[in-house]
Structure formats: structure tokens, C-alpha cells
Chains A and B, each alone.
Chain A
Amino acid sequence: MNRRAQISLRPDGRRLHLHDGPIDVIVEAFGAPDQVRIAYEAAAERFVTILDELCSELPLLRQAAGADGPHVTGVVARRMLDAVMPYAAETFITPMAAVAGAVAEEILSTLTATADLGRAYVNDGGDIAVYIGEGEEFTVGMVERPDHPCLFGTVRLHASDPVRGIATSGWRGRSFSLGIADAVTVLAESAAAADAAATVIANAVDLPGHPAITRVPACELAPDSDLGARLVTQGVGELSDEEIGLALSFGATTARKLIERGVIVAAALNLQGETRTVSALPQLRPTGFPARSLPHA
């Protein structure tokens, strides 16, 4: 076992915290206590080698995906590459766009393969893989700004729904974004697919050339960024309602195309307090916070 990784139960005694280098994962499994323990032990054992596996192929994972692109062999790396391939023909994208979702998916598959659970989630820094057993459901809250955690919407997932992955991307997040969305949350069949799609849709929420947007070459911020000299968003000034609507409509168009192609199920796009949702299934439209019914003070 690598000695770098930190594995602990959260003080609530229910959630497992896995941490290694840039990977920070919260796991929660629901089921009989012995099954949960078996699942957590397996997850921990699987977790400790993931970062080393990824790093052994890191230069390849930072290259643009495509027909002539890199070939990778690691299990997680394969998940990453598969998740970004749907976009490779038309845009620059590297497997790194799906790293968090792919890691979440890998841990989740370890949980469900080793134990009998009712439901479980693996949350890798906001990119989430879920397992929903027969008759179970999950309620997922969405947050627009990590510095001001606050739900801007919720979505309820049932076992019969096709969604098993939720991911969020935006310029305020840890990874760089080419767009200006505060947050784009995507529901898809897998966490890696959701992760890649959230990146692509968040990039599409944009107002090219707008003077209120500060953009900096990614390599100036992080010399080894897979985005090279591409301009990444570092600040977005105040936008008018019309501009917000326009930028969101660009992202919504991209999201709708992905729904038509069957790559994602639904998306919620958030920019400066405005939310736009698109969904293949009416019951999976992420709903805004029900302000009316909250206990107003």
C-alpha cells in the first residue's frame, strides 16, 4: 500500500474519505453494516494504486484525444479516453477532461463488485458516480460557486432512471475552463461521460471577445497544463441579462446536441445567478430551488 494516500472515516462514521495527491474522494455506501465495511475496505485497497497508475501514463493522458491520438492501457485511463472520444473529432479535448469522473466510476465499480449494497455514491471533488439499487433513489443538490456553497437546484434520481453519473464544471472550479459558466452540472449514464460533457458544455457557455472576461493562457498559470497556450477564464465581470441569456443559449445548444446523440441525459447551466436546464427526460429536469415553499423567516 502506498504510504502517501490518506484513508479515514469521516467523524460522522458513515462516509469514507480517500485522499491522494490531487484526488480527494468521499464515499458513502448504504446497506448492512458488514457489507458497508467490506465495500469500504475494497474501495480503500483499490484507491491506493490509482494515482500511480494514472501518473505512469500522464504524458499520454495530456495529449489530445482522437483517431491518431494516444493509446492508453490503464483501466481508469481507458475510462477517461472513452469518455472524451465523442468530442475528439470536432474539438480539442484530452482524456484529463474526464479524470475525476473516471476515478469515481472506478471506485464505485469496486464497491458494487465486492458487496451487496442498497445504494452508494463516490464523490470525487464534485464529480459523482452513483449506484442505485432496486427501488432506491438519490437526491442530488447542485452548487454554483464553491466559495459560496448554496444549492441552486436539486434533482432526484430513481433506480429506473438511466443516470449513474453527475459532474460539474465551471471556471470557478479547480480545473481550468475555456468558458464563463459558473457551473454546468451534467447527468449522464456514467460519471466519466458526465465529467467530459460538463467540461465541453461549460466551455461552450461563452461570449467570445467580451471585454469583461479575463482570459490567460493556461500554461502561464500552470506550465504543465494539458490546455497549453489556450486561453482559460480567470475572471468574469458583470454581464447584462441579455448577455447572460446569450452565453447560456450557446451552452444549451451544445447540451441539446449531446442529448440528441445520447451522450448525456440532462444538464443544468448556471451563469451569474441564472439557470438554464435541458433534459431528455421530463422527470429528470433539475429543478430550481423551490423558494416559495421554503420556511421564509
Chain B
Amino acid sequence: MTDNDVIRCDACPVLCYIKEGRTGACDRYGNLAGQLVRLDPHVVLDRAVSRGDSVVPFLERSHDWDGNLVSGPDTFVTAIGAGTTYPDYKPAPFIISSEVNGVDIVTVVTEGIFSYCGVKLKIDTDRHLGAECSTVRAHGEAVGHVTTNEYGSQMLSLGGVRHLTGGTRHEGTVTCETLLNLCNGKAVELEIEQGAKVTVQADKPPIVDGVLEERMRVGCGSATIGMFAKQWFGKVDEVVVVDDHITGVLSEHQAGKLLGIPETGIKLKGRRSTPGRYFRVAEPGTSWGGTNIEDPLSILSDFKPKIAWPGLRLLMVSTTGEHYAYFELDEQLRPVEKQLPGTLRQSVSRVKENCEPALCTVLFMGGAGGSLRAGVTENPVKLTHSVRDALTRVTCGGAPVYVWPGGGITIMVDVSRMPENAFGYVPTPALVAPIEFTMKLADYGTLGGYLDHIRPLQSIAANRHVSAKPDNPWPLQNNSQSASKS
């Protein structure tokens, strides 16, 4: 108690002694660098106030209040926290009616238990994360695999029934926790077999082997040459855009030819694809343009003495503009690094600024199985048909979903468009995700809905109100479903 990092809290008569970085018995007041600080995440009431919820006064006027907080078509009841159906209670937990533009609309709200589900992860990076099909691990357990490399992004596929329930109990638990954290917007550390360690979080830049990825490339090396050839013309004799996929060389490239740029005698390592385009100039890695090189000259052989000339100006730049170096050839035609001339600085920064902020995006993907559909209608296949015919709109926590064509109701949703902490889990293990089906009352009757379980919107007392995300279409509005951010 004599430690000078201990403070005494006087917020209540318990008068806790609190060490630095810890909280008192209440978990609400803490010692932050010697200061008593109210931390507060657990105060339900205050949280309610900060969210703009109604806080209902007690004692003074409790009898004046009718118990309703939800009213009108401007309120949409999400399935978050709705619970799931129990075996002795077939219809979905909430079947809610509201009137929109004079038409009775029904929303069937449930939380689905998805053991057939996973996450498609798009990581904007040119750095090599791992070979296709490599196992992706979390806490040492296999939770998914590396799938295709798309333009400027590496896709990972995590979860799925094989990892959730097909492996050991521990594999399932870790997979479930990984999916849950990703879907709820938390950061997750993944390790790719014989590849990189990457920290991913929805709507945040990835961290690859400890390095924060800031930008995604504007194009491959060859495309970059095409885009910026005119801006380099006359200011430099040769440009090499270093890229793990296709490294571009200005003087040999079609774009350079069109501008009449003369040959420079440059010789690249790697395999030439078409003129000015080279595959595999180096091994994949996390340095220059997603290769493993630290020294850009390591991908060049000697210049051809018959063609090159002393004083030849060479710019080397990565596809993201993050790495660049400028050289001039000396009398022996050896490149000597010089300061980047002001006239080229703009083109390098333009490459960089055309590279958009790198993000991780998390799409939850799951299939709404027969028993979940049975909570909506007595004849589950009719719900599938109704969704197919666009009579029924599917949302997840009010966010728009993409319904994959074909059989069943397999949905994809961008978790960042859903309210916070929308996902839960059961120890099966499986993920619990909110899912809502909205349709006209008449259509609900036609597909065999539980009409006698419909309750008016006004009868729902919500525990948590969240503001609708401005980018999302309003779930009760009858325009065609779209999962694209406008």
C-alpha cells in the first residue's frame, strides 16, 4: 500500500486500493497512469444514455409510461438477441408486422445457428501471404486455407463445417472463436503455413509480419507502365515497375514503343512473358512489390554494352510506389544510385496515391438450412422460392445480403454493415447469426407462414437501439436487394 502506483478510489465507500492499470471491485473505476478514471463499459444505464436510448425514470413517474419504446415503420427489429427457436416452439421467436405505405409487412426474425458457415476474407495486399491451398491457422489450429489471389488482394476462406465440426473439439472451438471475433469486428491473428503472419480486422488495414499495409497496388507492374508511361516520357530513359506477378519495363513495353522510347539495353532476370512483361523476377515476399528483394538491382543483369550508354537514367519503383530508387549508369554502365530528381517525384507519388487504402473485408457466408426456414413457414421450400422470386427480402441485422443463386438460401453479408457484436456462438460449435425475412403480409400467408404468431411492432420492447447505417438500404423499403455499397 506504500507503492506509489496505488491509488485509493473514493467513488464509493468500499474505498478500493487500485494498482496502476487495474480496476477496483466494481470494474468501473480504474487507475490509469495514477489517475482515477471512470471506465464504464459495464454501466448498462450510461451506455443506454450514450446510445440515445430512452432511460425510463423510476419512482417519479413510472405509471405514466406505457412500456413501449418501439413504434412506427422507422423502426426495424433485427434478429440480434432474438434467440433461436426451441423444439417445443416451432415458429421463429419474433414474427413482427408493421405497416409501410399502407401495405402490411411481416418480418420474421430469428437467430440462426450456422454450423455450415464461414468467412471469406479479402486482404488488400500485394505481399505474399502464402501459397494457394496453404492452411491458415489460429492459435495453432487449422481454421481455413489460402484461396485465390485477386487483383491486389489475397482471399482467405475460413471456417466451414469441416473445421467447425469435422476436426478435433479444439479445432472446432478455435475456428468458431476466430469466425466470431472476425464477424464481430475484432482483430484476429492468423498464421499461414509456410507464409506470413497476418493480423486482420474487418474494415482495418492488414498487418503482415508486423508491418501495417497501407495501400493496395494500382495495377500489376505492366499495367502501371501503361498508366504512367506518358508521365515518364522524356524525364527518364528507363522505368522498371517491380511486381511479384508481372514486372514491367518501359522501353520494351507496348506503351513505351508507342511513345517511341528507345531501347536501353536493360536485362531483367526472370521469365519474359510478352515484350516488357516479366514473370518471377524474384521470389514472393513482403518487400518490393510483393517480392523478397531488398535491393532492386538484384533483379537486373548487366546492361548490354552495345545499347546502353553512360548517364542513362533509370527509375525503379514498386507497384504501390512505396519503394523506389533512381540510378544513372556510370562509364562502366553500372547503375549508381542518385537522388530522385524533382521531375520524377510527382510520378512516384502519383503511383502511390492511386493505390487505395488497403483494408481487410470480412464477408460472413452461411446457408439457412431447412429447420431455420421451418421457423418461418410450415413449408420451408416455399421460403426459398419466395426469396428467389424477390418477394421476400433477407437481411442480417438489418444489413443487405447477397443471396447466392442456386439451391437453398446461402447468403453473404459484409459484417461491417451490421450492428456491433451481432454474432454469437453455441458450443456445438457453431456461429449464431441474426437473419430476418421481410415480405408482404399477403405473401407470408401464401407461403404458409405462422399468421397466428404475428405480433405488432409496437409490442416489441427492445433492449438495444442502434442507428441504422446510412449506407444500408432501409430493410422495409421495397427496392431490389443489393449488397453493393453505393
Q: Do A and B bind each other?
A: yes
Contacts of A16 in B (CB 8 A): 58
Q: Mark B92-132 against chain A: 1 for CB-CB distance below 8 A, else 0.
A: 00000000000000000010111111000000000000000
Does B366 sit within 8 A of A, measured CB to CB? yes
Query: Number of residues in B with C-beta < 8 Å to the partner?
Result: 72
> Is the CB–CB distance between B19 and A295 below 8 Å?
no
Contact partner, B59, options A44, A241, A290, A291, Cβ 8 Å: A44
A1-52, CB < 8 A from B: 4, 6-14, 16-17, 19-22, 24, 37, 40-41, 44, 51-52
Does A238 sit within 8 A of B, measured CB to CB? yes
Contacts of A297 in B (CB 8 A): 112-117, 366-369, 371-372, 430, 433, 435
> Is the CB–CB distance between B85 and A11 below 8 Å?
no
Q: How far is the CA of A272 from the CA of B432 in the complex (A)?
A: 19
Given contacts A8-B45, A149-B424, contact A295 B58 (CB under 8 A): no
Smallest Cβ-Cβ distance to B424: which chain A residue? A150
Does B251 sit within 8 A of A, measured CB to CB? no
> Is the CB–CB distance between A52 and B16 below 8 Å?
no
Smallest Cβ-Cβ distance to B92: which chain A residue? A295
> Is the CB–CB distance between B62 and A20 below 8 Å?
no
Q: How far is the CA of A296 from the CA of B431 in the complex (A)?
A: 10
Q: How far is the CA of A17 from the CA of B56 in the complex (A)?
A: 11
Does A212 sit within 8 A of B, measured CB to CB? no
> Is the CB–CB distance between B173 and A296 below 8 Å?
no
Q: Mark B427-444 against chain A: 1 for CB-CB distance below 8 A, else 0.
A: 110101101000000000
> Is the CB–CB distance between B53 and A11 below 8 Å?
yes
Contacts of A223 in B (CB 8 A): 1, 3, 6, 17, 19
Q: How far is the CA of A297 from the CA of B92 in the complex (A)?
A: 13
Which of B21-29, B146-154, B317-325 contacts the other chain? B21-29
Least Cβ–Cβ distance between A116 and chain B, in angstroms: 19
Contacts of A11 in B (CB 8 A): 48, 53-56, 69, 461-463
> Is the CB–CB distance between A8 and B24 below 8 Å?
no
Given contacts A13-B65, A44-B58, contact A24 B114 (CB under 8 A): no
Least Cβ–Cβ distance between B286 and chain A, in angstroms: 29
Contacts of B54 in A (CB 8 A): 11
Given contacts A11-B463, A150-B424, contact A294 B11 (CB under 8 A): no
Does A152 sit within 8 A of B, measured CB to CB? yes
Does B381 sit within 8 A of A, measured CB to CB? no
B58-83, CB < 8 A from A: 58-59, 62-63, 65, 67-69
Does A280 sit within 8 A of B, measured CB to CB? no
> Is the CB–CB distance between B55 and A222 below 8 Å?
no
Contact partner, A290, options B16, B63, B87, Cβ 8 Å: B87
> Is the CB–CB distance between A21 and B14 below 8 Å?
yes
> Is the CB–CB distance between A152 and B427 below 8 Å?
yes
Does A243 sit within 8 A of B, measured CB to CB? no
Contacts of A10 in B (CB 8 A): 44, 56, 463
Given contacts A44-B58, A295-B113, A297-B117, contact A150 B425 (CB under 8 A): yes
Smallest Cβ-Cβ distance to A291: which chain B residue? B428
Contacts of A273 in B (CB 8 A): 169, 173, 427
> Is the CB–CB distance between A150 and B112 below 8 Å?
no
Q: How far is the CA of A16 from the CA of B87 in the complex (A)?
A: 31
Contacts of B190 in A (CB 8 A): none
Smallest Cβ-Cβ distance to B9: which chain A residue? A21
Residue of B12, B69, B426 ringed by the most chain A CB atoms within 10 A: B12
Least Cβ–Cβ distance between A158 and chain B, in angstroms: 17
Least Cβ–Cβ distance between B102 and chain A, in angstroms: 30
Smallest Cβ-Cβ distance to B110: which chain A residue? A295
> Is the CB–CB distance between B16 and A294 below 8 Å?
no
Q: How far is the CA of A174 from the CA of B41 in the complex (A)?
A: 14
Contacts of A24 in B (CB 8 A): 26, 42
> Is the CB–CB distance between B43 and A19 below 8 Å?
yes
> Is the CB–CB distance between A222 and B44 below 8 Å?
no
Contacts of B17 in A (CB 8 A): 222-224
Contacts of B366 in A (CB 8 A): 297
> Is the CB–CB distance between B53 and A295 below 8 Å?
no
> Is the CB–CB distance between A13 and B56 below 8 Å?
yes
Smallest Cβ-Cβ distance to A274: which chain B residue? B169
Does A281 sit within 8 A of B, measured CB to CB? no
> Is the CB–CB distance between A296 and B115 below 8 Å?
yes
Does B469 sit within 8 A of A, measured CB to CB? no
Q: How far is the CA of A174 from the CA of B463 in the complex (A)?
A: 23
Least Cβ–Cβ distance between B88 and chain A, in angstroms: 9
> Is the CB–CB distance between B12 and A296 below 8 Å?
no
Does A75 sit within 8 A of B, measured CB to CB? no
> Is the CB–CB distance between A8 and B84 below 8 Å?
no
Contacts of B12 in A (CB 8 A): 4, 20-22, 51, 55
> Is the CB–CB distance between A17 and B84 below 8 Å?
no
> Is the CB–CB distance between B58 and A7 below 8 Å?
yes
> Is the CB–CB distance between B42 and A222 below 8 Å?
no
Contacts of B368 in A (CB 8 A): 297
> Is the CB–CB distance between A9 and B58 below 8 Å?
yes
Does A263 sit within 8 A of B, measured CB to CB? no
Does A221 sit within 8 A of B, measured CB to CB? yes
Contact partner, B461, options A12, A52, A221, Cβ 8 Å: A12
Contacts of B25 in A (CB 8 A): 21-22, 174, 222
Q: Mark B282-294 against chain A: 1 for CB-CB distance below 8 A, else 0.
A: 0000000000000
Does B57 sit within 8 A of A, measured CB to CB? yes
Please list the 10 inter-chain residue pairs (A to B) with the smallest Cβ-Cβ separation, ordered nearest first: A21-B12, A13-B67, A55-B13, A22-B26, A293-B87, A297-B112, A223-B17, A22-B25, A295-B371, A297-B114
Q: Could you list 26 A-B pairs, sorted by A, with CB under 8 Å?
A: A8-B55, A9-B56, A9-B57, A9-B58, A11-B54, A12-B461, A14-B461, A16-B58, A21-B12, A22-B12, A22-B26, A44-B59, A51-B12, A55-B12, A144-B427, A148-B177, A148-B180, A150-B426, A223-B6, A223-B19, A294-B113, A294-B371, A297-B112, A297-B113, A297-B368, A297-B371
Could you list which residues of chain B lie within 8 angstroms of chain A, going by C-beta atoms?
1, 3, 6, 11-19, 22, 24-27, 42-45, 48, 53-59, 62-63, 65, 67-69, 84-87, 110, 112-117, 139, 169-170, 173, 177, 180, 366-369, 371-372, 374-375, 424-428, 430, 432-433, 435, 461-463
Known: A17-B44, A17-B45, A223-B1. 7 other contacts (CB 8 A): A6-B45, A13-B56, A14-B461, A52-B13, A291-B427, A295-B371, A296-B369
